Structure 1
Amino acid sequence: MGRKELSNEETFFAWFSTMQEANVTMSDEMLITKARMLQNSVLRETEKEIKFSNGWLQGFKRHHKIQAYVRHGEGASAEITEDVLDRIEALKALISGYEPDDIFNMDETGLFWQLEPNRTLATRAVSGKKKSKNRFTVALTSNMTGTVKLPPFIIHKFSNPRAFARRNIRRPENLGIVWHSNSKAWMTMKLFEQYLLDFEKRLKESGRSKVLLLLDNFAGHKVISVGDRISIIRIEFLPPNVTAVFQPMDAGIIRAFKAHYRRLLIRLKLERLQAPGSAEVDVYDAVLMIEKAWRVDVTSKTIRNCWIHAQLVSATGILPDLNASDDQYGAAIDPVRDLRSALIQLEEMTMESGIIPNMTADEYIDFENATEALDPISVEELADLVSLPEADTLEEAEPDIDLDRSPPLSVYELNAACSIVLCFLEQSQDDKSRITSKLKSMLEEVQFGARASLIQREITTYFSSEL
């Protein structure tokens, strides 16, 4: 099946949706001007040029059911119209036809993975060319009950950063994440399709026959060429510009994840300050903390409470074991309290760290929201969002003059290390039989794979020498 390109009007609507999500106020005159600029940037040869006018714009608004939105004070607030409420009621009816375990939400967030809780240092970290290098896009997905959390889908500028190359990491998936890259570290339409294919594969392997995936109207959330390969996932979009109210990920899940991540980041820095060597955090460290913050620290209770807080489900209906009381929703706030404690510890070690933590915990957690809302996507960048090819992905290692690689571990070294761990468990006064059994099974599986690989290499070497 050939690849379907977005039309000029579809591309303009994708840009418009992105502006709405960023809470950018737009007049009719601004919309027409931007539409003309966009057409000049991505005009398809097979399409007729659109003659933009007020008549065209009104027709465009009617076709896409665009309402007027207003901006209030420092923040932006969407007018929740009758159309929005009707759409939410339709989604609630649709949700009621699925089991809670089969209803999912995914959303992306920017993450400056080295960010320190100092306003001056933070501003430098996100300026100019350093921005994409220090920033991940992280897509998080969970079901309503919090029993299924997909591995974090991480997008970076480099496919093989030096922190991976140094440690001989050839498959980042072995770190418990899904790793992709492009030159801007963005979720593009092509990467979104890769996300869907990966999700579909996991669903088939788990034996599921149908799930509902709720998404916002981000311009990258378009299925262009893989629709015929997606049969289990049904995608439904939330109304634009109100995801802060109705999207579970925006109702506290992502915020809890960031609070946990930044607590882990500060604690790692504190640990390294008290040990010899560099305290610098690299991509490898960041990936491990992202994986732990999501898999371990963001609890199923937090996820369930955020779904209820998003007003898409009834606590006494689909999730009868919960209610949406403020005390229970407070479970999503606990990470903020823990982060405050970590910031206090860092402040006590200002002399050693050289960092003056003058951000509050809330500022530290919400940093990306505050900075990226002030830097909405441009017309030129939208063209990249629509068509940035994976060929732009950097296949070579991130430039590094002094790449000091660790030698690959041998099977012998693996056996020796596991023997020490097994000996420790066997000497415990507590019942460690379950952990011991799992460790032995994993070790046997790794050893079997290593032996098979060795035999294959020997056979290949033999036939090569015969030739």
Structure 2
Amino acid sequence: MDKSSKGKRTVITVEVKKQIISKHESGVRVSDLAMQFGMAKSTICSMLKNKDAIKGASVAKGVKTLKQRTQTMEEMEKLLLIWITEKQLAGERITESIICEKALHLHAQLVANTPGASAEIESFKASRGWFEKFKKRSGIHGKHAEAASANKLGADQFVLEFKDYVVSLGFAPQQVFNCHETGLFWKRMPRNTYITKDEKALPGHKPMKDRLTLLLCANASGDFKSKPLLVYHSENPRIFKKNNVIKSKLHVMWRANSKARVTRQFFIEWVHEVFGPSVKKYLQDKNLPIKCLLLMDDALSDPPGLQDELMEEFAFISVKFLPPNTASLIQPMDQQVISNFKKLYTKAVFQRCFEVTSDTELTLKEFWKNHFNILHCLHMIDKAWRDVSQKTLQAAWKKLWPDVVPEHATEAVEEDVPLVEDIVFLGNSMGLEMSGADVEELVEEHGAELTAEELQNILLEQQKAAAEEMSSEEEESRESVPTAKIKEMFAKWAEMQAFVEKYHPDKAAVSHATNTFNDFAMSHFRQILKLRQKSQVKLFW
């Protein structure tokens, strides 16, 4: 070897690596490849270990290294996906350029908070190529590339078309329904209260950002409210297990996924199990024709083929979608129904806090931080949804279908004023310094723009709940083994151990194997028996 070349590291192009992998997959041996390409066998083996990444790489000819995705990039995309979900919940449409702009902003925020990562800013451009790959990785749909601004022209045109449509098909107000999803930060106090300020001041403590998603639905006559669909990030919260909660008996249809998001599958299940049967019974009780119209924003569920997925027994349900970007203008649920529901939820929460702090020795901070849980939240949701008045539900159709809105229903807007005053009174009674503006801000915050830190808090809450749920399930499976069964297995293991030790010729190997099994397997069950024996002693005394 030439002295001048000694010590130099030869860098192999991705193209050559692909050739080597291809030859090996066609049957060429490692030793032959090493000889052909003048490389060490260990180098060839290293390539083969990483062959999936190398084969999947799309790089220009002559490129020598694969560009690795950084941890900051991975984190940014997770937060970006949560942000997109929040926008969906608010009924907003976002363009590709808006998503890329948010990606750049989140990436910069993360880099600024990560020591030694400043060089990454230059490497991330939020290009069209990145966006296309992000779409594939995350599964977001093309509808995100639509115009983001409110579609006033489309809304006006739809109002005229809608009137003709319901008249031509003979739909009465009782037969026309609207559903819409919304996010709810179920454990959040107004920003200016001492509880929220104390949360932010505590080292390492994250403000309460736990969120769930609700799907609310009612009809134009305001005398029918469907059981809500609720999606949380935990299938079986620990508090459910402690209280033996039967989810099918809840006042909501409980579903869960990591993003706490309504999926098409969940929506179809809700139609089949909740909406369809309850609407059919309602129409029968009212002696109305068994037909109905479900109006919805197409951001809720991909429109193509939705009607075809309904079971035959629910063929009486017609589905109609609002035009893109018109929800804030004409969708009934967006016309103060959801905001009224959130104020009623806040009032119910404050009322519960007031009662607890008045009737027990718990302080507000103690109850809020350590005792207020998702079960309390479910009771508050049920109460708030029941308390949304018929007038509020009727008035919500004024912009879309004014012909069916009674005159008295237009006064429903005024119901919010005393409601806000009640919340402020309850808050002040518990020592919270707050005003009506704080209540309005709290309601608006459920759909407000989230910072990188807030998105990270949501992600952490989701991961924490998932970890607790997994841990709880593992614990439950361990504890479910009967004591008698454990003792039976110990007897069988002792019998097996004696048999092997007596008849196996290699005594040393047997001793090593049985000791290993005892240490790593049977000791676990011995510990369970010890804990149960201690528990029995405590109970006896």
Paired residues in the alignment total 334
Asked if structure 1 preserves the Cα contact closer than 8 Å seen for 2:350 and 2:427, the reply is: yes
Partner residue, 2:395:
305
Cα drift, residue 205 of structure 1: 4.5
What letter corresponds to residue 412 of structure 2 in structure 1?
A: A
Deviation by residue 1:341-369 (Cα, 9 ceiling, x = unmatched): 3323322432xxxx544662211222212
In structure 2, relative to structure 1, the CA distance for the partners of 1:345 and 1:209 (3 Å cut) is closer
Partner residue, 1:349:
430
Q: Does residue 320 of structure 2 align to residue 248 of structure 1?
A: no
1:227 to 304, 309, 312: 309
In structure 2, relative to structure 1, the CA distance for the partners of 1:277 and 1:154 (3 Å cut) is farther
In structure 2, relative to structure 1, the CA distance for the partners of 1:336 and 1:364 (3 Å cut) is farther
Partner residue, 1:175:
250
Between the aligned partners of 1:155 and 1:283, the Cα distance in structure 2 is 12
User: Which aligned pairs between 1:196-275 and structure 2 lie closer than 5 A?
Assistant: 196-198=271-273, 199-206=275-282, 207=284, 209-218=290-299, 220-222=301-303, 227-229=309-311, 230-275=314-359
Asked if structure 1 preserves the Cα contact closer than 8 Å seen for 2:177 and 2:219, the reply is: yes
In structure 2, relative to structure 1, the CA distance for the partners of 1:397 and 1:130 (3 Å cut) is farther
SS in structure 2 opposite 1:307?
A: coil
Cα drift, residue 224 of structure 1: 6.0
Q: TM-score, normalised by structure 1?
A: 0.60
SS in structure 2 opposite 1:274?
A: helix
Cα drift, residue 189 of structure 1: 2.1
Asked if structure 1 preserves the Cα contact closer than 8 Å seen for 2:95 and 2:146, the reply is: no
Deviation by residue 1:300-321 (Cα, 9 ceiling, x = unmatched): 111001112xx11134xx34xx
2:184 to 98, 102, 111: 111
Q: Does residue 159 of structure 2 align to residue 88 of structure 1?
A: yes
What letter corresponds to residue 112 of structure 1 in structure 2?
A: F
Q: TM-score, normalised by structure 2?
A: 0.52
1:192 to 244, 262, 267: 267
Cα drift, residue 227 of structure 1: 1.3
Cα drift, residue 85 of structure 1: 2.7
Between the aligned partners of 1:393 and 1:140, the Cα distance in structure 2 is 29
1:361 to 439, 444, 455: 439
Between the aligned partners of 1:109 and 1:28, the Cα distance in structure 2 is 21
Between the aligned partners of 1:400 and 1:259, the Cα distance in structure 2 is 39
In structure 2, relative to structure 1, the CA distance for the partners of 1:107 and 1:29 (3 Å cut) is closer
Between the aligned partners of 1:344 and 1:162, the Cα distance in structure 2 is 34
SS in structure 1 opposite 2:446?
A: helix
Between the aligned partners of 1:264 and 1:19, the Cα distance in structure 2 is 23
What letter corresponds to residue 360 of structure 1 in structure 2?
A: D
In structure 2, relative to structure 1, the CA distance for the partners of 1:276 and 1:397 (3 Å cut) is farther
User: Which aligned pairs between 1:443-458 and structure 2 lie closer than 5 A?
Assistant: none
Partner residue, 2:45:
none
Between the aligned partners of 1:154 and 1:253, the Cα distance in structure 2 is 17
Deviation by residue 1:58-86 (Cα, 9 ceiling, x = unmatched): xx99xx996684xxxxxxxx2522x4432
1:292 to 356, 360, 383: 383
Between the aligned partners of 2:210 and 2:302, the Cα distance in structure 1 is 24
Between the aligned partners of 1:19 and 1:332, the Cα distance in structure 2 is 23
In structure 2, relative to structure 1, the CA distance for the partners of 1:66 and 1:186 (3 Å cut) is closer
Between the aligned partners of 1:176 and 1:119, the Cα distance in structure 2 is 32
Deviation by residue 1:421-459 (Cα, 9 ceiling, x = unmatched): xxxxxxxxxxxxxxxxxxxxxxxxxxxxxxxxxxxxxxx
Cα drift, residue 333 of structure 1: 3.8
Cα drift, residue 185 of structure 1: 1.0
Q: Does residue 213 of structure 2 align to residue 164 of structure 1?
A: no
What letter corresponds to residue 344 of structure 1 in structure 2?
A: F
Q: Which runs of 5+ in 1 are unaligned?
A: 1-13, 45-59, 70-77, 379-391, 402-467
SS in structure 2 opposite 1:115?
A: coil
Asked if structure 2 preserves the Cα contact closer than 8 Å seen for 1:336 and 1:361, the reply is: no
Cα drift, residue 43 of structure 1: 4.7
Asked if structure 1 preserves the Cα contact closer than 8 Å seen for 2:100 and 2:131, the reply is: no
Between the aligned partners of 1:191 and 1:166, the Cα distance in structure 2 is 26
Bigger shift: 197-206 or 186-195? 197-206
What letter corresponds to residue 196 of structure 1 in structure 2?
A: V
In structure 2, relative to structure 1, the CA distance for the partners of 1:312 and 1:131 (3 Å cut) is farther
Between the aligned partners of 1:302 and 1:144, the Cα distance in structure 2 is 10
Asked if structure 1 preserves the Cα contact closer than 8 Å seen for 2:333 and 2:396, the reply is: yes
Cα drift, residue 252 of structure 1: 0.9
Q: Could you say which structure has the greater relative contact order, defined with CA pairs below 8 angstroms and 6 or more residues apart? A: 1
User: Which aligned pairs between 1:326-337 and structure 2 lie closer than 5 A?
Assistant: 328-337=409-418
User: Which aligned pairs between 1:332-411 and structure 2 lie closer than 5 A?
Assistant: 332-350=413-431, 355-357=432-434, 360-371=438-449
In structure 2, relative to structure 1, the CA distance for the partners of 1:197 and 1:302 (3 Å cut) is same
Asked if structure 2 preserves the Cα contact closer than 8 Å seen for 1:102 and 1:210, the reply is: yes
SS in structure 2 opposite 1:267?
A: helix
Asked if structure 1 preserves the Cα contact closer than 8 Å seen for 2:187 and 2:208, the reply is: no
In structure 2, relative to structure 1, the CA distance for the partners of 1:35 and 1:250 (3 Å cut) is farther
Between the aligned partners of 1:185 and 1:130, the Cα distance in structure 2 is 19
Between the aligned partners of 2:471 and 2:344, the Cα distance in structure 1 is 29
Asked if structure 2 preserves the Cα contact closer than 8 Å seen for 1:132 and 1:157, the reply is: no
Asked if structure 1 preserves the Cα contact closer than 8 Å seen for 2:291 and 2:316, the reply is: yes
SS in structure 1 opposite 2:396?
A: helix
1:40 to 123, 133, 141: 133
1:22 to 82, 92, 110: 92
Between the aligned partners of 2:230 and 2:205, the Cα distance in structure 1 is 19
Looking at CA atoms only, which structure, 1 or 2, has the larger radius of gyration?
2
What letter corresponds to residue 268 of structure 1 in structure 2?
A: R
SS in structure 1 opposite 2:376?
A: helix
